[in-house]
Amino acid sequence: MSIFCSLRQLSVTYGRGSSGAAALDHIDLDIASGERLAIIGESGSGKSTLARALAGLLPEGAKVQGELLWPALGHPPRPGRDFGLVFQDPGSSLNPVLTIGEQIAEGARRHLGLSWQQAYARAEELLGRVRIPQPDKAMRAFPHQLSGGQRQRVAIAAAIAAKPALLIADEATSGLDVVVQAEIVRLLDGLVREDGLTLLFITHDIALASGFVDRIAVFRNARLVEAGPVRWVLSAPKSDYTAALIASHRDLATPPLIEEVAS
Ligand SMILES: Nc1ncnc2c1ncn2[C@@H]1O[C@H](COP(=O)(O)OP(=O)(O)OP(=O)(O)O)[C@@H](O)[C@H]1O
Ligand code: NI
């Protein structure tokens, strides 16, 4: 197993001076190449800060301490090229005045050095991979003409257009209804397996994440509470906080997950 990214005593504080509380507080965490890691925690626990720190997208004035190492890449990741981002609201990552085809093709063209024609062909192929019906027609559609779930599929296609090594999904399924959520998770799972991507799946929904990731890292108040393989964390959580999180989640009580943990 090779390490994709190492966080060593990583701390992040927003705002100037030392007055602000840390949004991440001395985090030690290794992310393995090709693993699917869920970042779980309640609102404000530092999940998105972790994503921004990895992506080099912290706002100006944020103070970073500690180390972030990228042994697999050998350099900090380049947005759009080395990693793709998918957010809760695909409206915020999709441009309303560009066609679906244009926005997916753009990343492929810029980062893979393709011609527009080649990039359009890749975009259409990607729309098929994310299971958008009639990809050729969808290429010419605008974001508002699609449903929320379809927009999220398009955002995922755009995020992987340049063949990144890392995909960061920050609450990518939160705004969607449960059925669509499950479809998007299945889609992410399939893409990540097929392409050997490393996935950071950020969510407050431990049940949703548990269904498909390899490992879970639980955050609370800027700290890493615990990290481990899904089965270990679910069946023998190290902290009371994680135990409470699992106990409080009715979805975790559904039979398939319990069987999985018990076997
Ligand atoms: N741009 C910012 N400026 C100042 N403080 C910020 C900024 N972004 C986040 N914070 C603070 O940092 C802490 C961690 O926020 P973060 O967004 O990482 O949490 P989160 O776990 O992603 O929460 P959520 O589940 O609500 O998305 C919070 O206290 C938040 O108020
Ligand atoms: Ni967040």
For residue 245, what is the domain's CATH number?
3.40.50.300
Residues 6+ apart with CB under 8 A from 178: none
Question: Which of 41, 43, 72 lies closest to 54, judged by CA?
Answer: 72
* Ligand 1 neighbourhood includes 19 CB (under 6 angstroms): no
**Alpha-carbon distances, residue 134 vs 30, 107, 139, 187, 249 (angstroms):** 40, 21, 9, 17, 38
Q: What is the pLDDT of residues 64-98, one digit of tens each?
A: 999 999 998 989 888 889 999 998 887 777 999 99
Probe ligand 1: pick from 47, 202, 206, max atoms within 8 Å of CB?
47
Is 190 part of any domain?
yes
Is 28 part of any domain?
no
Is 136 part of any domain?
yes
Ligand 1 atom closest to the CA of 51, numbered from 1: 18
Domain count for the chain: 1
* Ligand 1 neighbourhood includes 13 CB (under 6 angstroms): no
Is 149 part of any domain?
yes
Res 92: pLDDT: 74
Q: What does the alpha-carbon distance between residue 132 and residue 193 come to, in Å, rounded to a whole number?
A: 19
> Cα of 62 to ligand 2 centre, how many Å?
16
- Structural domain harbouring 146: 76-262
Is 112 part of any domain?
yes
Is 241 part of any domain?
yes
Is 164 part of any domain?
yes
Q: What is the pLDDT of residues 96-117, one digit of tens each?
A: 999 999 999 999 999 999 999 9
Query: Whole-prediction pTM value?
Result: 0.92
| Average pLDDT of the chain to the nearest whole number | 90
Query: Which stretches of the chain are DSSP H helices?
Result: 47-55, 90-93, 100-112, 116-129, 135-138, 148-159, 178-195, 206-210, 230-235, 240-248, 255-262
Indicate the pLDDT class of residue 5, thresholds 50, 70 and 90.
Answer: very high
Query: Is the model's pLDDT at 252 over the cut of 50?
Result: no
